[in-house]
Structure 1
């Protein structure tokens, strides 16, 4: 008796990966930010993601694959300045997406404000009152 089976060859990587930090904010005062990912794939079951450019993970080689999540709290690399977070996604058979990234400026410095008032020699204490 002959046996038959269907085989689907999947060579397509996850498509349409977009990365957004803090809902697209340009600046943040906290190193803790929210990473949001979007894909055009209809299902992400079994997908994994790799994130780098965050605290403790400087480059792709030191990043590890983890279960895909559309949203994740991450910590930026310390120190004020422009930060870039990179992401790749792979599907359940190992097809990797192209890298996608987003940037945000970390600014934790408290602004120094100096307030100067009018010249005291120009202030008069004379007041008049008319009824």
Structure 2
């Protein structure tokens, strides 16, 4: 177990899935992990339906902005969670990678985005429980 693990969420545009995952993990972790997100070809803004779906559960993505993935992001992470970025994510030996197959929320209905959000939330909670077990 790592003292304060760093998790990097990566998707192509860093405007949907990875932003939701980062916000959800920050929310649930309460400072027990370092969370970053990035994209191999970042968009200009967060998808509006993603921002709306997150606001519905009390998480504000307005301060977030899509960020370009760098080798340093990957190098510093303990766990890299990819979400459809394919071969664009650098691979370092000994690094833990998870590939979450999730629909891209771009151009999806709000109901579809909610389903994607809820699936990401489930996976984020499972990952958090594994990395930082509850001391109870």
Whether the TM-score (by the shorter chain) exceeds 0.5 is no
The answer to which structure has the higher helix fraction is 2
Larger Rg: 1
- The TM-score with structure 1 as length reference comes to 0.26
The answer to which structure has the higher strand fraction is 1
**Larger RCO, structure (CA 8 Å, separation 6 or more):** 2
